[in-house]
Amino acid sequence: MQLTGAELIIRFLERQGVETLAGIPGGTVLPIYRALADSSLNHILARHEQGAGFIAHGLARVTGKAGVCLATSGPGLTNLVTAIADAKADSVPLVCLAGQVSRALIGTDAFQEVRSTRIVDSITKACFEVRSAADLVDLLPEAFRIAESGRPGPVLLDIPKDVQNETLQLSRLPDAARREAPPDPPAEQITEAARMIDAAARPVLYIGGGVTLARAQAAALALAERAALPTTTTLMALGTLPPEHPLALGMLGMHGARYTNRVLDECDLLICIGARFDDRATGRADLFCPKARVDWLSRVGELRRDWPLRLPGIDDPRQPYGLIRTVSQLAHPDAAITTDVGQHQMWVAQSYPFTRPERWLTSGGLGTMGFGLPAAIGAALALANDRRHSRRPMSLYREAGEGGTNRGAIGGVREAPEGGGPEAGAVCFSGDGSLLMNIQEFATLAELDLNVKTVVMDNAALGLVRQQQELFYQKRHVASLYARPSSLCAVARAFGVPAYDLAEAEDAEAMLREAFSRPGPALIRAPVAVEEMVLPMVAPGAANTEVID
C-alpha cells in the first residue's frame, strides 16, 4: 500500500486501539489533521495545548493505556511541556505527537521552530526526532511500548511537516505495540522479604501509585490482610484500602493524620510497594505469621484514638470537609475524582472516601495547578468509551445523534444513545486560583457536554500559599490574595456551563443535590473563608512527628 507519513500515523493509532486523542491544529500538523478527517478516531479540540495534554492524562490514568495528544511546532509544543512533565512525575503513559518545521528549515530559526527534543529531553522517558516517513514504521510502536512498559511515562515524537507528507510503500501496517510484562522477582528475594516481615514486630505496609498503575489493588489488600499489616498510602494510592478498613492508616506525610505519622515513627519494618522507595521487602503473604503483630495492632489502635484525623465541619456542607462529604454522597460511586493543587486538594485527600484508586486523579509529583478540569474531561471521555464497549446504554451526551461512529467528530463528540441511567462522569475539586489556569477548557467541556461537575472552593486567594505565609513567613500575605476576585459562575456561564453559587443558596445541600441530579457539566461555587487552613501540617523540612495542629 502507498501511504503518507500522516496517514501512517493515523492508521497506526487506530490499529493500536486508540479511540480518543486531544490536540490543537497548526501549520506543521495539518497533514495529520487531514488524515484524521478519514478516520474513526475521536479528536477532542482543546482550547490550550496544556488542556489537551491533561485530557490525555485523564484518558490514560483511567484506562491505564497511553493517552495521545497532538500539538503544532513551536508554541504548541511549549504549551504542552507542563503536561509532559506532569506525566513524567506521576508515571503516566503519554504519546505526544508534535509537528516540526520541514527538514530543510530545521536549524534556520524558522517560523514556529523550537528544538523540541532539547526542551523535553529531561521530562520524557524518550523523545525521537523523526526524520523520514520510513522511521515512523518502527518509532510509532516503539513510542507506545516505551510509554506503557515498566514505569510508564511520556514519549514525544517530533515530526517535520514534510515527513508527514512524504509517501512510502508498505506491505502492511506495523503491529500494535504491546506492554512488556515485568520481570518476575527473584524467588529468593521474595522469601527474604517474607522472612523479614515475619520477624518484624511493628511492620507497616506503604503503598504508592505504582500499585494503582499496575492495577494491583486486590493483591496489595490481600497482602495487608494476610499478614495483618497496618497500611498507609501515598496521595497517589488513596482508596487502595477503603477508609473504614481496620488496617487502613490513611495518607502519610505533610497533611496526614497525626496517628499515621506516629505509627510510621514506631514501625520497625517499612514494606514499600509502588512508591519511590526500594520495594525489595515485598513478599508473599502465606509465609507470614500475623500473631507476632497482635501487640502492634493494639498499639496502632491506641495511636489512632489518641491522635485522630479531625475533620471539623464534616456535617456542614458550607465548610470544606462537609462540602466534600456531601459531594461524595451525591456523586456517582464510579465517578472519577480529580483535583487541582492547593488546600482543596489536601482537604479532598484527607476526607473523600475513596475506594477506586484508578479513578482518583491528582497531580502528585509535579503539583500542577490547572490539572483538574482537563483531567476530568479526559477521565469522563474514558468512562464514556468504556461504557460504549460494555454496550450499556449511555446518557452521557444530551443531544441525540447517530450512534456507533465518531466519524466527522473532529472538535466534538456528537454521539448520543437512547435512554440509560446516570453517567458516572467525573467530579473536579478545584480552587479559584487553579481553575483560572485552564478555565478555557470549560469551552471544550460545554462542547462535549460531558457529565463533569466542577466544585470550586473559592477563598479569593491562593490558599495554600497564604497558609504557608501565615505559618512560616510572619503572616506577610504577599501576592496570595486576590484584590478583585473573578466571578467564576459568570465565567462558566459565558462558556456555556451552567453554574450554581452556594453563596446564594438558602439550603446548600439542596442546591448541591439539584446540581448533581442534572446530566451534563456544571460549576458549583462554594465560598470558603480565607482563614481556613489544612491541618495537621508538618512544616517543610521538619520531621513528620513535628506537627502543627
Ligand X SMILES: Cc1ncc(C[n+]2csc(CCOP(=O)(O)OP(=O)(O)O)c2C)c(N)n1
Contact footprint for ligand X (CB under 6 A): 340-344, 367-370, 431-434, 457, 459, 461-465
Q: Tell me the C-alpha distance between 508 and 326, whole Å.
A: 10
Q: Counting beta carbons within 10 angstroms of the beta carbon of residue 107, is it exposed (0 to 12), middle (13 to 18) or buried (19 or more)? A: exposed
Q: How far is the CB of 395 from ligand X (least distance, A)?
A: 31
d(CA 440, CA 181): 39
Q: Which residue lies nearer to ligand X by CB, 59 or 341? A: 341
If you ran DSSP here, which 8-state letter would residue 354 be given? -
Nearest approach, Cβ of residue 358 and ligand X (Å): 24
- Considering the complex, state which of residue 193 and residue 376 has its C-beta at the smaller distance from ligand X: 376
Residues facing 455 on adjacent strands = 429, 524
Looking at the Cβ atoms of 228 and 436, the one nearer to ligand X is: 436
In the complex, the smallest distance separating the C-beta of residue 141 from ligand X, rounded to whole angstroms, is 33
Q: Of 5 and 372, which has the nearer Cβ to ligand X? A: 372
Write down the least CB distance from residue 272 to ligand X, Å: 26
| Angstrom distance (rounded) from CA 200 to CA 467 | 39
Helix (H/G/I), strand (E/B), else coil: 94: strand
Q: Identify how many contiguous H helices and E strands the chain contains and give both numbers.
A: 20, 20
Those residues whose C-beta lies under 8 Å from the C-beta of residue 439, and which sit 6 or more positions away, are 373, 491, 495
- 213 or 369: whose CB is closer to ligand X? 369
Separation of alpha carbons 178 and 172, rounded Å: 18
**Nearest distance from C-beta of residue 123 to ligand X, angstroms:** 15
| Residue 96 vs 349, nearer CB to ligand X | 349
The distance of closest approach from Cβ of residue 198 to ligand X in the complex, given in angstroms and rounded to an integer, is: 42
**Residue 129: phi, psi to the nearest 5?**
-90, 105
For 225-240, give the secondary structure using H, E and C.
HHCCCCEEECHHHCCC
**For residue 536, is the peptide bond before it cis, meaning its omega torsion is within 30 degrees of 0?**
yes
CB closer to ligand X out of 389 and 484: 484
- Sign of torsion, CA 486 489 490 494? positive
In the complex with ligand X, the residue whose CB is nearer, 381 or 457, is 457
Report the nearest approach of ligand X to the CB of residue 57 (Å): 15
By beta-carbon proximity to ligand X, the closer residue of 380 and 462 is: 462
Q: What is the residue-wise DSSP string for 398-412?
A: SS----S--TT-TTS
- Nearest-approach distance from CB 346 to ligand X, in angstroms: 8
Q: Tell me if 93 sits within 8 A of 67, measured CB to CB.
A: yes
Q: C-beta of 60: minimal distance to ligand X in Å?
A: 20
Number of neighbours of residue 519 by Cβ within 10 angstroms: 17
CB of 342 to ligand X, least distance (A): 2
CB nearer to ligand X: give 159 or 435.
Answer: 435
Per-position DSSP letters for 257-301, written without gaps between them: -HHHHHHHHH-SEEEEESSSS--TT---GGG--GGGGHHHHHHHH
Do residues 544 and 252 lie in contact, with contact meaning Cβ atoms separated by under 8 Å?
yes
